[in-house]
Amino acid sequence: MQLGMQLDFQGVLLLMWGATVPLIYYGFICDPNLRWIYWGVQSSLAIAASAFTLQPNFKDPSLKMLRALTFGGFACSSLVPIIHAIARYGWEVQMKRMGLVWVFATLAFNTVGATAYAFKFPEATFPRTFDIFGCSHQILHLAVICAGLTHMVGILQAFDFLHDNGNTCPQLA
Phi-psi region of 41 (alpha: psi -120 to 50; beta: other; left: phi over 0): alpha
To the question of whether residue 151 is assigned a binding role by annotation, the answer is no
Contacts of 79 (CB under 8 A, 6+ apart): none
Q: Which of 153, 146, 84 is nearest to 113 (CA)?
A: 146
Contacts of 78 (CB under 8 A, 6+ apart): 16, 19, 20, 23, 42
Spatial contact of 107 and 99, defined as CB atoms under 8 Å apart: no
Report the alpha-carbon distance of residue 125 to residue 58 in Å, rounded.
Answer: 28
To the question of whether residue 141 is assigned a binding role by annotation, the answer is yes
| Annotated binding-site ranges for Zn(2+) | 137, 141
Instruction: Return binding residues.
Output: 137, 141
